[in-house]
Amino acid sequence: MGAIRRGEDFLFNQVYDFVVSRIESNEWKEHDKLPSVRQLSVELHVNRLTVLKAYQLLKKHKKVYVKDKVGYYVQPKDTFMLEYPDHPIVSAYVQKNSLSEIQQVQVEYNFSQALIDPNLLPNHYLSEYVKKVFDLYPKVLSTYSTVKGDEELREALADYFIKQYKTVIHADDLLILSGSQQGIHLVAQTFVKARDTVLIERPSYSPAIDTFKARGAQILSVDITPDGYDLNQVEQYMKLYKPRLFYMNPTFHNPTGYTVPTRQRKQLVQLAEQYQCLLVEDDSYHDIYFDHKKPPPPVYTYDFSGTVIYIRSFCKYISPGLRVATIICQSSSHMKTLLSVRALTDNGSPLLNQKIFLHYFSSPRLQQHLEKLRIALQVRKEIMEKELSRTNWNWSSPGGGLNLWVQLPDNLSTDSLLSKAITHSISFVPGQICDPIKKLPSSMRLSYSYANEKQLQQGLQKLIQIAQEND
Ligand SMILES: Cc1ncc(COP(=O)(O)O)c(C=O)c1O
């Protein structure tokens, strides 16, 4: 450590900056003990009082914490988020979408988009339904939909859900959305105020993290593993922090592909009822399963008291262009508030899109399409896994969804790998973006659904080579 320069700045400010720079460069890590006041004053050739004053300011700014009669320690970032009262307000003014920043980069080998290759979607049949819809509803373009969504479509979807899961819902419990991202945003606008606590899985779908942060929520993360959640941790958090809601993606979770087991789904509903925490279940990948193994029924099917708000998207595997998704909300008071906020947003989804979707959704072609799509996606997943098997990287093979969540050796940073990969026209999502507390430096999400088979092989071989050059 060098001596402190005596100049126009207050000395204690320089000591303060010295400590902050050590923390930010990660030289002094979370919970590390800082040098004692005496030790630092000797090393920096300043008065003990100067160091003490700097340490007190660091404590005030929640950069460090004190253990009585033991010393000062580096404050961890996640508790900093929970305890620093101004933080949510600041974040409420910061509008950010980390994922879209990566996705805007045009590349030849695109493993960052959890989208399905348009060649695998039913383009031809959908255009046939466009003609049919104009014949059936000649005034479709001159008509508003209701805010809740087209009644014919809500009836058809309610019938479908009843047949699939054998639980009773009504067309009135449905609210048609323009995509599930709109549903997440709507739920955040409706139920979350600045400083409310929101539980989110770690890792998670990054635009959901950004949406709740932009509302000024205090984010608390719950780890998701191949076995689901640690329900003791969930209960502790619900008891201690009284979260407003738990946003979760329990089926072929994005980014990991994990699925929460049935047993936990039932218990989650009980916990949420007991602690009055809404469960917001995002189910964007339910029908993308492999080897004919259907996932467990959604969490909402275990809910009889209106605790779950279920968001189901059909965008990915039918038509991203139509942007049709739905909310199922069995609490009439929650539905009423959602409708008010939705009316202020856009007064409902375009009727034309809903009608085209309805006619395709109600035809036998949907199931035929899904059967072929599942096989095509499984083939792509296996190609990706075959290329990756030549490395010492780790992942847990998912039973569905569009992504592999891959762990690289600890010495490899996926952030710096991405910068190099982009110069070779390859993109993927570094783990940090999916982490509510912005760590997971050696993880990455690789999507196998957008690139074709040749691009998957070539792109992965290049990516592995770039990573090995830096190992
Ligand atoms: C978990 C999850 N939720 C929501 C969305 C948004 O999908 P959309 O708005 O197209 O329905 C995505 C898209 O990647 C997703 O992965």
pLDDT of 8 reads: 44
Q: Which one of 111, 113, 177, 181 would you pick to mutate in the ligand 1 pocket, going by the greatest count of ligand atoms within 8 A of its CB? A: 181
Ligand 1 pocket test, candidate residues 176, 254, 357, 449, most atoms within 8 A of CB: 254
What pLDDT band is residue 85 in, cutting at 50, 70 and 90? very low
What global pTM score does this model have? 0.82
The helix (H) or strand (E) run that includes residue 443 is strand 443-447
Q: How far is the CA of 316 from the centre of ligand 1 (A)?
A: 8
**What digits encode the pLDDT tens for the residues 220-255?**
999 999 999 999 999 999 999 999 999 999 999 999
Can you give the residue ranges of every domain in the chain?
A: 11-75, 98-118+367-469, 123-365
Structure confidence at residue 90 (pLDDT): 59
Query: Is there an atom of ligand 1 within 6 Å of 249 CB?
Result: yes
Ligand 1 atom at shortest distance from the alpha carbon of 249: 1
> Cβ neighbours of residue 134 under 8 Å, at least 6 residues apart?
140
Determine whether the shortest distance from the Cβ of 447 to ligand 1 is under 6 A: no
Is residue 171 within 8 Å of 158, Cβ to Cβ?
A: yes
Which CATH superfamily hosts domain 98-118+367-469?
Answer: Aspartate Aminotransferase, domain 1 (3.90.1150.10)
Residue 218 has pLDDT above 60, yes or no: yes
Segment 25-36 shows an average pLDDT of 89
pLDDT at 359 over 70: yes
- pLDDT band, residue 5 (cuts 50/70/90): low
Could you tell me the distance, in angstroms and rounded to a whole number, from the CA of residue 185 to the centre of ligand 1? 11
For the Cβ of 205 lying below 6 angstroms from any atom of ligand 1, the answer is yes
Q: Which helix (H) or strand (E) element contains residue 301?
A: none
Of the residues 200, 212, 284, which should be mutated to test ligand 1's pocket, given the most ligand atoms within 8 Å of the CB?
Answer: 284
The fraction of the chain above a pLDDT of 90, given in percent, is 79
HEC profile of 236-261: HHHHHHCCCEEEECCCCCCCCCCCCC
Q: Is the CB of 282 under 6 A from ligand 1?
A: yes
pLDDT tens column, 103-146:
778 899 999 999 999 999 999 999 999 999 999 999 999 988 99
Residue 195's pLDDT band, with cuts at 50, 70 and 90, is: confident
Nearest CA to ligand 1 atom 14: 114
Q: Assess whether the C-beta atom of 114 lies below 6 angstroms from ligand 1.
A: yes
Report the topology of domain 123-365. Answer: Aspartate Aminotransferase; domain 2 (3.40.640)
- Mean pLDDT value across the chain: 92
CATH tag, 11-75: 1.10.10.10
Nearest 5°: the CA angle 96, 418, 199 is 40
Average pLDDT on 317-332 reads 96
